[in-house]
Structure 1
């Protein structure tokens, strides 16, 4: 099949790679313009552009995909199908009507759940045990098109967004090939999205802040859901601190005086209640959370116990 590919971040690369290795004719690749990045604000190419350039594919980077000249260029490419994977721009009806097999989107959730920009983050942060990948025929709505194929993925209790992201990206490439094969053979019947839907809204700074009054399980899900980006944060001894890895301590009883100090007054959420060889024990609104890896502002990630010892902290001090 002759395909035009639209995508930008790392998540889209396995799908483009699958098209190339699967024998499809990739007529062109559309990706976002190079953006300033890093302290030097030098222009940085998107991961899709890097892969496409190395593969010798024609690359377009229009600031606005809806521009009439860009639409005309797309039409002149005569694609059988346009494949969209985390491109970052909304397609107009004029574009949606160009390819005879339609515009196929690879989305990182089991639609109609988690439509929108951050489906993997929210699936992990909400403690979902199952997510997946959906291919759909695009319409003018936000992830509202008819479903083509879906595949489930089981999320492990300690799995991070980064780990789920990588697994779903690979799954997306495989599912995309199956989808295009099914469309070419007229073996797939698109079906409307039925049932309740939800949106995975863009993350804000408020979503990153740890509220210690929540349960240990909720905080653990938040921490792993924001790993590797943008990171859950708190404060300790007046300094900002990101927490990258944690563990829920079920039914923990503080018996060993060398590990924890028993306190006459009940511990408050955010208060350190003990230290173990691999981490710091912190009281939450419900249960104990062990912090395993943290990152002070301006420093590299480090074991939580090393951080605690380096600050000459004492059990009973609190995160805020």
Structure 2
């Protein structure tokens, strides 16, 4: 089939590469415009744009799928639109432009966690399982009929970044399977069943550690916002990024929520239940470091903001 692919971040790249290696024809790749990154704000292509260039595909750079983009895609006469984390809405008439409409690879078991940040919200909520779904795009948010899905357990220490990387790879195979089935005329879909939950995009405030919550909730939030938007807290008036954490051993002392202490060679932090271990942190203006090294330089047991 003749495809148009829309995607922007790194998790969309495995799907693009898998489709490129198939027998289907990718007429164009749609991705968001180059964005300023780093301290010097250098205009940088999206990961999908970079992959499209490497693969030799024409890239349409657009932050919105407006009338101009719709006309360019319509002129390509696509059979199917494929979207993976593009970062914008597909509305009519573009929604109906391809012969078979658009399908979306989404990183959750729909209808749970519709929206922009399904993997992050699954970890924050403490879900034991997640997965990927390929569904028919409709005007309502992530509400279309599901063609195929795959599930997997969430590992106890998995971060959002690690989980999303794994789902992007396995989801690429799932997506190709659905594209092949649509091409063969054998694709079957089912309506979503159950009460939907929603996963809006996370902001900096979502990364603030809430020390009064139980340990597992604190761990889930930190894992869920790693690497983006990133977990952080305040120690002695300074912002501290929390990059990696773990569970404290059974002998760790009970601490008030937000209070830090040295336990053996580990820095522990009190929560609403048992303490957790800070493994890697990043103080303001410095690089990542072992929490124990940071602690030796700080020499403090001050409570953490938010306790």
Taking the aligned partners of 1:245 and 1:151, their CA distance within structure 2 comes to 28
- Matched with 2:302 is 317
1:283 matched to 2:270: yes
Contact 1:115 1:142 in 2 (8 A): yes
Q: Which runs of 5+ in 2 are unaligned?
A: none
**1:70/1:238 CA distance change after superposition, 3 Å:** closer
State the TM-score, normalized to the length of structure 1.
Answer: 0.91
What is the CA deviation profile of residues 47-93 of structure 1, one whole-angstrom value per residue up to 9, with x for unaligned ones?
000000111111111343121x3222211111111101111111112
1:92 matched to 2:99: no
- Matched with 1:13 is 13
Please state whether the residue corresponding to 1:199 is helix, strand or coil: coil
1:307 matched to 2:283: no
What is the CA deviation profile of residues 253-302 of structure 1, one whole-angstrom value per residue up to 9, with x for unaligned ones?
34xxxxx7xxxxx742112243232x212221111111111110111111
Offset of 1:305 from its aligned partner?
0.6
* Number of residue pairs matched by the alignment: 305
- Matched with 2:241 is 242
Contact 1:275 1:305 in 2 (8 A): no
State the TM-score, normalized to the length of structure 2.
Answer: 0.95
Contact 2:11 2:168 in 1 (8 A): yes
Please state whether the residue corresponding to 1:223 is helix, strand or coil: helix
Offset of 1:173 from its aligned partner?
0.8
Offset of 1:246 from its aligned partner?
1.1
- Matched with 1:271 is 259
Contact 1:280 1:304 in 2 (8 A): yes
Taking the aligned partners of 2:63 and 2:161, their CA distance within structure 1 comes to 28
Between Structure 1 and Structure 2, whose CA radius of gyration is higher? 1
Contact 2:204 2:229 in 1 (8 A): no
Taking the aligned partners of 2:129 and 2:146, their CA distance within structure 1 comes to 18
- Matched with 1:207 is 206
